[in-house]
Structure 1
Amino acid sequence: MLPCRDPPADRRMSRVEGLKADSPHFTLEGKPFRILGGSIHYFRVPRAYWEDRLLKLKACGLNTLTTYVPWNLHEPQRGVFKFDEELDVDAYLSLAAKLGLWVILRPGPYICAEWDLGGLPSWLLRDPHMRLRSTYRGFTEAVDSFFNELIKKVLPHQYSRGGPIIAVQVENEYGAYATDQQYMPFIKEALLSRGVAELLLSSDGSDGLKFGGVEGVLETVNFQKLKMDDINYLDKKQPQRPKMVMEYWSGWFDLWGDLHQVYTAENIRAVVAEILNLDMSINLYMFHGGTNFGFMNGASAVDLPTPKAMITSYDYDAPLSEAGDYTTKYHLLRNLFSLYHTQPPPDLPPQHQRADYTPLVAQEHLSLWDSLSFTDEPLRSEGPVNMENLPVNNGNGQSYGYTLYETAIGNGGGTLNAMNHVRDRALVFVDRQFVGVLDYETQELSVPEGKGDRTLSLLVENWGRVNYGKTLDDQRKGLIGDIEFNKLVLRDFVIHSLSMEPAFVNSFQASGCWAPMSEQPSACPGFFLASLHVNGSPKDTFIKLSGWGKGVVFINGKNLGRYWSIGPQLTLYLPGPWLRSGINQLLVFEEQKTDHNIEFTSSPDYGKTEHVK
């Protein structure tokens, strides 16, 4: 049985030989070493809970933490970098070292991760000729700029410098994309030239395993069900070298309108046991999924007629739940991994308490139309302009949220045709009266007759960019082309950017523009304000909006993410650290319907389940 050595308590030990892959087993300091890893993404977990989640990973018998790096969050504007709060990767790596965990860093630049555009920043798409994940100059220059900032922050955390990073991944699952033979060598050199000195890995699923490798980089495989053909391929391609499952999928992601995907604990234990019996190393993806807070969820277009958006929760049916709870999977795997250690695993950290807060009723309301006075000056344009090319965000375009397109139409009725140019979903209004929805499935709407010139408004939502596959270059959002009314192309648009950034939300949240609910009992779309009073220390909870339709929830200015009555997800995770003792401002943006009631529950509801096939 191959041992699984834990990191030494004394990190000041002499570092002579890092992780090597020159024999059938990994070695660390020249001694056999097996990676037992688990994925936890710092950007999907409140910073206050990082330590809790990592301690629970270690208590499961794992010795290695793996994490992606989301370029789109770290560089929200070209040349403007964020490495603070939940994005403080330096602090995250330091915490892993403090807790005695090794780290495999997966810096991208593309990460997939069921994350908007696979982690690539949307401002790249302002270039009409952009070719993502290629050696197109516009892309490589942007990657170089980002890596200049990122890599200098992670270099001190390398094993050779006394830190926890024992390996670094070169891009991610490029074999399934494989459009440019020079791309993977470019990423490899981008890492090496900036001082990355630890073992380099690549990872691919079965569909891309034969096309994603690069010379001098150890290939690893991703799967949920063990396929010996893949293992035999690795044996043949890399004889006498270690074999590793970089992503053993412990569950699966969910899409709006589908069922909640689950994968049984017993099946997982059986496959993991077989992997370990083969003397392979393993990383659980995910060990703890966390949450797609804000507008960060991706979308899936694989084997679907039209894209479908990921839900806000990234629970993933993982061993550690969205809120950090132990599951049956966790306990089964902990018992299994304990067989591969000479010492018993650490004691289980205690569970966090949760609260069923008293239900609330929204007391005040601000219509979407009234909120426009708090937005930047609108763009006046002859034709529609997609979100990414709007002159906002210091010339970086609009990345997320909603965009409102308005133009004049005459008094006659007729047919509005989207021309397949709505990305992804538009609420349509005439003189602020709701007419219908345009999306991938509905391309035409009937518009009733009226009096005089009327205003046509389309509130277009970017519900998440595709994160995987060969359509990444086509993920521009908003209205991406002309639309027609009675077969005539509409012109002369006024375009409002509604990215729902904290500055916008906070600007009117504290204003005196709110109307009592009694005066506007059912006006949608709009913002609805309620106050949550917390006595004592705040606790985790889940928000339930049973009588609402579709929208976004903010707590004290933080965007918790989207809700949608079609499910499967019927609750939103509200972390206790994002609440404060006393009054908390809870703001809901609702698109179409509400009964004004806001409930809280201590248990999540992810909807009806379906077993992963």
Structure 2
Amino acid sequence: MSRMEGLRANSSQFTLEGEPFRILGGSIHYFRVPRAYWEDRLLKMKACGLNTLTTYVPWNLHEPERGTFNFQDQLDLMAYVSLAAEMGLWVILRPGPYICAEWDLGGLPSWLLQDKGMQLRTTYPGFVNAVNNYFDKLVSVIKPLMFEEGGPIIAVQVENEYGSYAKDEKYMPFIQNCLQSRGIKELLLTSDNWEGLRYGGMEGVLKTINLQRLSFGAIQHLADMQPQKPLMVMEYWSGWFDVWGEHHHVFHHEDMLAVVSEILERGVSINLYMFHGGTSFGFMNGAMDFGTYKPQVTSYDYDAPLSEAGDCTPKYQVLRNLFSHYYSGPLPEVPSPQERRAYGPVAIQQHLSLWDSLYFTDKPYRSERPVNMENLPVNNKDGQSYGYTLYETTITNGGTLTSRNNIRDRALVFVDRQCVGSLDYKTHELALPDVQGEKTLSLLVENCGRVNYGKALDDQRKGIVGDILLNHAPLRGFTIFCLDMKPGFMKRLMNSGQWKSDFKSPSIPGFFQARLYVDGPPRDTFIILPGWGKGAVFVNGQNLGRHWFIGPQHFLYLPGPWLRSGENQIVVFEEQKADDKILFAENPDHGKTSDVYKLPFCSLL
């Protein structure tokens, strides 16, 4: 059914259904929040006085293999947007195809990188064809949710911060046409940070700005670029993300409140990025690389108004108080907090070495030269996207192993299955012990997360991406195992009779199994692993994410809906050192913090 006029940007104020309208928005990514909690998080958004939900759409989850689409269960975008409508929230959709989002490769599928000449985010034919196929499917899902069809989507963002990339002037008009030619008629927007705003705009597409502080006259600058147009901060950064090996970032609510108040006093529309960050479950975190590669942690708490586990923080309370002045009538009540439990410690009962687990991988691939993850003939020939890859070859002498920076991102090195050291972006050389006769050299390489922002997107192939030298001679004759630890592999592993209960010499790297018995209804909890080193944790087959003793993250959020009453299976994949137990906590300990408001923006990057 057709409705009145949708969101329009024809004067200095937005109008919706012909009436003046101010967007008070917040970002919650459906793919970072367990589906059972979508309703709780959206109710809390509504109760804070917001009127609009914004979300990215991650192409790499919706099309994990070329031509294979998934919009079910946790990825049921239609259900998520429909739920927002039921709550009385409008929706701004940000379908990319590139989304940044501190998400592996900015949401682009890694199979795009099988093409050695790929130029992402340009009108390169291989990229254009893939985007067209994806948008054919995506638009068929989202079109019935548009305002003009009776749905809640009032605006759609064209790409994401392209002004900071700007490699092809024909690209943004191509994405605009991808939407409009498939029947999207709602208001189109772009969003850019201060630097990216310099990039030329497009006819009929409204520019918006992303920022955290009101420096450089940023909003006035936007107003000067678009006179007599509504002003909007599309991403008001309510906190910041974390990277391994640095402190947890915080943005104090007093500092944030002062800026948000000023934005609202100036009549500007706002979207809080993030309102609720959630979790980059599994191996989906991104990374930064502005000269130094820095992978992001699993938690996407972001110091947002709603914490990773959905708690209303002091930031939430001050924002609710502020937004209440812009809300007609009393605000809806805030839903009561979810109960949490610190379950008692559970003992490790069995272990299985990495080497014994190789029987449960897909058939290994033999190649004279090393092959990067994305070009391995696995997953219906669409390559390996995430996790670990094991490369094995034979050596007959020790000496100097040189990576020439071809290890992406981190490798444990073994001679006859004994660990002799590691290689990564900092360490490019390793001394191998002298050997007698033939020995097996193994490199267990981890994709720690593909870069999600900046000019280096085309260079995000993982695994071993070029020659590795032993005493200046390139190694040859590899056997390569894909260890992406997908559900099928984990199931075969769990059902195998190979697990050992003898702990005299637990094998590292390896898998360690424990059972958690839950009495009564399951509750949210946090797993903590004080005596462990580095790896990943799986609960009832779900990959919770990575653990690494260097921090700042020393916990993994375990949502209650992923547990069951009775027995639950926990598996820790561990690379370095194992403990004999797994602990639980009711609240996360974020450790040392760093105040983003006191740091220059460039130091965050």
Q: Shorter-normalised TM-score: what interval?
A: over 0.9
Q: CA RMSD in A?
A: 0.9
- In structure 1, what is the equivalent of residue 491 of structure 2? 506
Unaligned segments of structure 2, at least 5 residues = 600-605
Letter in 2 for 1:196: I
Q: SS of the residue aligned with 1:516?
A: coil
Listed as ranges, the matches of 1:71-150 within 5 Å are 71-150=59-138
Letter in 2 for 1:190: C
Q: How far apart, CA to CA, are the structure 2 residues paired with 1:510 and 1:544?
A: 26
CA shift digits 1:160-188 (9 cap, x unpaired): 11110000000000000000000000000
Letter in 2 for 1:595: D
Q: How far apart, CA to CA, are the structure 2 residues paired with 1:212 and 1:541?
A: 48
- In structure 2, what is the equivalent of residue 438 of structure 1? 423
**Shift of residue 24 of structure 1?**
0.6
Listed as ranges, the matches of 1:287-306 within 5 Å are 287-302=275-290, 305-306=291-292
1:330 matched to 2:316? The reply is yes
Letter in 1 for 2:31: F
Letter in 1 for 2:120: L
Listed as ranges, the matches of 1:83-482 within 5 Å are 83-211=71-199, 213-227=201-215, 229-302=217-290, 305-410=291-396, 412-482=397-467
TM-score of the superposed pair, with normalisation by structure 1: 0.96
Q: How far apart, CA to CA, are the structure 1 residues paired with 2:178 and 2:172?
A: 10
Preserved CA contact (<8 Å) 1:528 1:589:
yes
Q: SS of the residue aligned with 2:196?
A: coil
Letter in 1 for 2:180: L
**Shift of residue 207 of structure 1?**
1.4
Q: SS of the residue aligned with 2:197?
A: coil
**Shift of residue 149 of structure 1?**
0.5
Q: How far apart, CA to CA, are the structure 2 residues paired with 1:266 and 1:233?
A: 26
- In structure 1, what is the equivalent of residue 12 of structure 2? 24
Q: How far apart, CA to CA, are the structure 1 residues paired with 2:195 and 2:439?
A: 52
Q: How far apart, CA to CA, are the structure 2 residues paired with 1:213 and 1:76?
A: 32
Q: How far apart, CA to CA, are the structure 2 residues paired with 1:145 and 1:485?
A: 44
**Runs of 4 or more off by more than 6 Å in structure 1?**
none
Identity across the alignment (%): 66
Letter in 2 for 1:380: R
- In structure 1, what is the equivalent of residue 563 of structure 2? 579
Q: SS of the residue aligned with 1:434?
A: strand
Q: How far apart, CA to CA, are the structure 1 residues paired with 2:200 and 2:525?
A: 42
**Shift of residue 228 of structure 1?**
5.2
Listed as ranges, the matches of 1:557-572 within 5 Å are 557-572=541-556
**Shift of residue 559 of structure 1?**
0.3
Q: How far apart, CA to CA, are the structure 2 residues paired with 1:118 and 1:79?
A: 19
CA shift digits 1:128-177 (9 cap, x unpaired): 01000000010010000000001111111111111100000000000000
CA shift digits 1:224-273 (9 cap, x unpaired): 00135322222122111100000000000000000000001001110000
Letter in 1 for 2:481: H
TM-score of the superposed pair, with normalisation by structure 2: 0.98
Q: How far apart, CA to CA, are the structure 2 residues paired with 1:471 and 1:529?
A: 38
Q: How far apart, CA to CA, are the structure 2 residues paired with 1:212 and 1:318?
A: 32
1:542 matched to 2:526? The reply is yes
Q: SS of the residue aligned with 1:56?
A: helix
Q: How far apart, CA to CA, are the structure 1 residues paired with 2:25 and 2:184?
A: 21
- In structure 1, what is the equivalent of residue 29 of structure 2? 41
Q: How far apart, CA to CA, are the structure 2 residues paired with 1:478 and 1:171?
A: 29
CA shift digits 1:478-499 (9 cap, x unpaired): 0000000111111000000001
- In structure 2, what is the equivalent of residue 605 of structure 1? 589
CA shift digits 1:3-41 (9 cap, x unpaired): xxxxxxxxx9x7210000001100011110000000000
Unaligned segments of structure 1, at least 5 residues = 1-11
Q: SS of the residue aligned with 2:189?
A: strand
Preserved CA contact (<8 Å) 1:548 1:596:
no
**Shift of residue 519 of structure 1?**
4.7
Letter in 2 for 1:448: P
